Amino acid sequence: DGGITQSPKYLFRKEGQNVTLSCEQNLNHDAMYWYRQDPGQGLRLIYYSQIVNDFQKGDIAEGYSVSREKKESFPLTVTSAQKNPTAFYLCASSMMTGSGNSQPQHFGDGTRLSIL
Amino acid sequence: QKEVEQDPGPLSVPEGAIVSLNCTYSNSAFQYFMWYRQYSRKGPELLMYTYSSGNKEDGRFTAQVDKSSKYISLFIRDSQPSDSATYLCAMSGIGANNLFFGTGTRLTVIP
């Protein structure tokens, strides 16, 4: 079954701790994205990557870091600098946008991060 | 002003009703329009994907785009309890990877 796998489903962070959220896709998509979802605020883009070893900041990148060493994988680290990390984190992927079109994004089932 | 506005609801309808969900937007560069369905504690699932103005039908679902009014709609016919979810609109410009999302409308279909 092709899809996007996020793990863990639930994650707890202690004060001062960095935590890493996993995202793996087997859709052969070039582009991958991380969003944060908070009640009443919709999805906000944290980081995205269009190609291996390259990524760009989204609207709310402060306190987060990413890597893209493999096409299939795009892990997100929530650092201790992120003072309000409690949220639902969603990973998505899409085919690369060619000239003149835009491809829909497909989502994983999310990781819910809470502070201990 | 947000780029995409969506009434958060909640919206409750009886089973079998026709549901109308709507979003407005401000950026005239948006050309691609999507509707996602999100069940509780799950990721959004792509329902409809349309380009520019017009209608698109898929089973009980119809997506409508009116670019002159900057207004998009999703209609659900013969609504079922399994349609109870949050519906998110999303849109993007030509050649753009980034999506702009509405905040979502929570729908409950009552048996």
Write the pLDDT tens digit of every residue in A44-85: 999 999 899 999 999 999 999 999 999 999 999 999 888 899
Q: Tell me what pLDDT residue B10 has.
A: 93
The encoded tokens of residue A17 equal 């701790």
Residue A107 touches partner B, C-beta closer than 8 Å: yes
The three-class DSSP label of residue B81 is helix
Whether residue B9 is predicted with pLDDT greater than 90 in this model: the reply is no
Of B43, B94, B99, the CB nearest to A100: B94
With tokens 């998509």, the residue in question is A29
A4-7 and A10-13: which strand pairing?
A: unpaired
**Touching check for A41 and chain B: CB below 8 Å?**
yes
CA distance B27 to chain A (A): 16
Rounded distance between C-alpha atoms, residue A50 and residue A71, angstroms: 9
Among A40, A97, A107, the residue with its CB nearest the CB of B95 is: A97
Contact (CB, 8 A) for A11 and A111: yes
pLDDT at B54 (0 to 100) = 86
Mean pLDDT over B11-29 rounds to 96
Rounded distance between C-alpha atoms, residue A56 and residue A63, angstroms: 14
pLDDT value of residue A42: 85
Residue B66 in tokens: 């009116």
The pLDDT tens digits of the residues spanning B60-110 come to 999 999 999 999 999 999 999 999 999 999 998 876 668 899 999 999 999
Question: Which residues does A32 contact at the CB level (< 8 Å), separation at least 6?
Answer: A23, A25, A48, A49, A68, A74, A91, A92, A93
